[in-house]
């Protein structure tokens, strides 16, 4: 379809329900500039929103029934109070919607029945957080339709609960925070312990730079199980060190901490998280000082740490990073949970196409499926469109 995503959501609503929606709500996908697997360690992250969005066109309906149409499948799914009484009763893509209804009710909100139609430009399975975009758009719609009292800063936790407890994915707070709290032209510096934020100016254009997003097209291999395993290792490390979370170990105390751990794998996992938190702080300091070009080496160091210590990269991803750097990128790293997904490369604006072509050529040489690429600018968080 070539129509704009909001138009497609409205058209979907009309054809599924034969009526007009009461409004449309949008939430973006995200890229994480730096700070990977630090969120569930109470640490720091620095994501920004993409202009790719998920839109929910919605209206109330009487009773405790929720009906959702998705352009992805062309299918309409309905569920009622019994299905949102406990996690796991709605499965597949509609679980993200049912999970939001469930989490709102769990938090004591009276959620009115609703009809929704979902359209999205956020690609699935590319590590750009299509699930958080869906949860956040649906949450915004249900809050407004029901006149619920739920300020934006309290919404990420609720959307995360939908994903953790209803859908069953043990993710952190970063993606929902990015989808809901980001601002155009800024990266979101989030302290995942107390959820305080600072909007950090991230003006690529003014610096003559571009952010290239390369979709590795690598099949996600065991991503869910590996994510949970990394989380467990981190919790194990924190427990051995006697701290509430790895956030409580700083770089100055890292060598001491590593010496107290009893296996090499945990040592590598802990070293990634502790050094990654510091790289986020260093990146924020450079951006605050307007030294945007200088963040490149921090991005590349983050990638090396994910590859060697956290062990969450795959050959396609490493190839994209190496080829981008060899073609002149100032820095490059995988973004998101890992085992596939996308690479970010910070490049001089004039060099974006050359760097993308170099990545494509390196892929061809190794016989990988051709990658996708696009340049992006930091966009706004979730919003009501009309």
Residues 3-42 that bind ligand GAF (CB under 6 A): 36-37, 39-40
Closest distance between ligand GAF and the C-beta of residue 100, in Å? Answer: 16
Distance of alpha carbon 81 from its chain centroid, rounded? 29
Number of amino acids touching ligand GAF (CB under 6 A): 11
In angstroms, rounded to a whole number, what is the distance separating the alpha carbons of residues 88 and 134? Answer: 18
User: 21 or 337: whose CB is closer to ligand GAF?
Assistant: 337
Considering the complex, state which of residue 39 and residue 121 has its C-beta at the smaller distance from ligand GAF. Answer: 39
CB of 69 to ligand GAF, least distance (A): 26
Q: Give whichever of 169 and 324 is closer to ligand GAF, judged by the CB atom.
A: 169
CA 169 to CA 124: how far, in whole Å?
15
Q: Is 171 a residue that touches ligand GAF (CB under 6 A)?
A: yes
For residue 294, CA distances in Å to 33, 281, 290, 344 come to 14, 14, 9, 15
Nearer Cβ to ligand GAF (77/234): 234
Instruction: Indicate which residue of 175, 215, 277, 309 is catalytic.
Output: 175
DSSP letter string over 309-334? TS----HHHHHHHHHHHHTT-SEEEE
Residue from 77, 162, 174, 321 touching ligand GAF (CB under 6 A): that is 174
Q: Give the chain's length.
A: 386
Fill in the per-residue mask, 222 to 251: x = in contact with ligand GAF (CB under 6 A), - = not in contact.
------------------------------
What is the spatial distance between Cα 283 and Cα 32, in angstroms, rounded to a whole number? Answer: 12
Can residue 99 be called a binding residue for ligand GAF (CB under 6 A)?
no
Which string of DSSP letters, residue by residue, matches 171-208? --SHHHHHHHH--TTEEEEEETTT--EEEEE--TTTTT
Residue 175 annotated in active site: yes
Q: Which residues make Cβ contacts (< 8 Å) with residue 49, sequence separation at least 6?
A: 28, 29, 30, 178, 179, 182, 183, 184, 188, 378, 379, 380, 381
Site for ligand GAF, residues 39 to 58, rule: CB under 6 A: 39-40
Would you count residue 276 as binding ligand GAF (CB under 6 A)?
Answer: no
66, 79 Cβ separation under 8 angstroms? yes
- H helices of the chain, in order, are 5-17, 94-106, 130-146, 155-161, 174-181, 223-241, 254-259, 264-288, 296-308, 315-326, 352-366
Minimal distance, residue 39 CB to ligand GAF, in Å:
5
Asked if residue 135 binds ligand GAF (CB under 6 A), the reply is no
Taking the complex as a whole, the smallest distance from the CB of residue 122 to ligand GAF amounts, in Å, to 13
Q: Residue 334's closest CA among 354, 306, 310? A: 306
Q: How far is the CB of 42 from ligand GAF (least distance, A)?
A: 12
Q: Are 129 and 137 in contact (CB under 8 A)?
A: no
Q: Minimum CB separation from ligand GAF for residue 151, in Å?
A: 21
CB contact set of 344 (below 8 Å; sequence gap of 6+): 31, 33, 211, 212, 213, 214, 299, 332, 333, 334, 335
Spatial distance between the Cα atoms of 131 and 124, rounded to a whole number of angstroms: 8
Q: Which stretch binds ligand GAF (CB under 6 A): 6-14, 116-124, 172-180, 294-302?
A: 172-180
For ligand GAF, give the closer residue by CB, 327 or 344: 344
C-beta of 94 vs 223, nearer to ligand GAF: 223
Cross-strand pairs, 60: 114
Least distance between ligand GAF and beta carbon 289 (Å): 25
Beta partners for residue 213, in sequence order:
344, 374
**Closer by beta carbon to ligand GAF, 71 or else 309:** 309
Nearer to ligand GAF, 284 or 358 (CB): 284
336 makes contact with ligand GAF (CB under 6 A): yes
Q: How far is the CB of 60 from ligand GAF (least distance, A)?
A: 30
- Which residue(s) pair with 23 in the sheet? 58
The catalytic residue positions are 175
Contact footprint for ligand GAF (CB under 6 A): 36-37, 39-40, 129, 171-172, 174-175, 336-337
């Amino acid at each position: 379809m070539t129509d704009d995503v909001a138009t497609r959501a409205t058209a979907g609503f009309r054809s599924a329900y034969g009526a007009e929606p009461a409004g449309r709500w949008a939430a973006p996908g995200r890229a994480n500039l730096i700070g990977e697997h630090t969120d569930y360690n109470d640490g720091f992250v620095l994501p920004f929103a993409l202009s790719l969005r998920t839109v929910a066109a919605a209206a109330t309906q009487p009773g405790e029934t929720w009906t959702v149409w998705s352009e992805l499948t062309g299918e309409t799914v309905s569920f009622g109070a019994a299905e949102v009484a406990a996690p796991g009763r709605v499965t597949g893509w509609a679980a993200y919607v049912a999970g939001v209804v469930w989490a709102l009710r769990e938090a004591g909100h009276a959620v009115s029945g609703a009809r929704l139609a979902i359209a999205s430009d956020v690609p699935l399975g590319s590590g750009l957080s299509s699930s958080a975009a869906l949860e956040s758009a649906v949450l915004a719609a249900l809050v407004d339709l029901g006149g619920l009292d739920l300020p934006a800063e309290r919404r990420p936790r609720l959307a995360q609960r939908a994903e953790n407890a209803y859908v069953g994915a043990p993710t952190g707070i970063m993606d929902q925070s990015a989808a809901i709290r980001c601002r155009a032209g800024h990266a979101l510096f989030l302290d995942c312990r107390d959820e305080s934020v600072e909007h950090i100016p991230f003006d690529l254009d003014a610096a003559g730079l571009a952010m290239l997003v390369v979709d590795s097209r690598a099949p996600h291999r065991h991503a869910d199980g590996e994510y949970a395993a990394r989380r467990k290792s981190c919790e194990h490390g924190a427990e051995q060190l006697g701290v509430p979370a790895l956030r409580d170990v700083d770089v100055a105390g890292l060598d001491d901490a590593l010496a107290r751990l009893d296996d090499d794998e945990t040592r590598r996992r802990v070293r990634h998280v502790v050094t990654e938190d510091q790289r986020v702080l260093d990146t924020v300091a450079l951006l605050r000082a307007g030294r945007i070009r200088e963040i490149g080496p921090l991005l590349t160091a983050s990638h090396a740490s994910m590859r060697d210590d956290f062990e969450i990269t795959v050959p396609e991803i490493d190839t994209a990073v190496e080829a981008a750097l060899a073609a002149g990128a100032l820095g490059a790293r995988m973004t998101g949970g890992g085992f596939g997904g996308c690479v970010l490369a910070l490049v001089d604006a004039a060099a974006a196409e050359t760097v993308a072509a170099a990545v494509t050529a390196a892929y061809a040489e190794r016989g990988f499926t051709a990658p996708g690429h696009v340049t992006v600018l930091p966009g706004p968080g979730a919003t009501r469109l009309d």
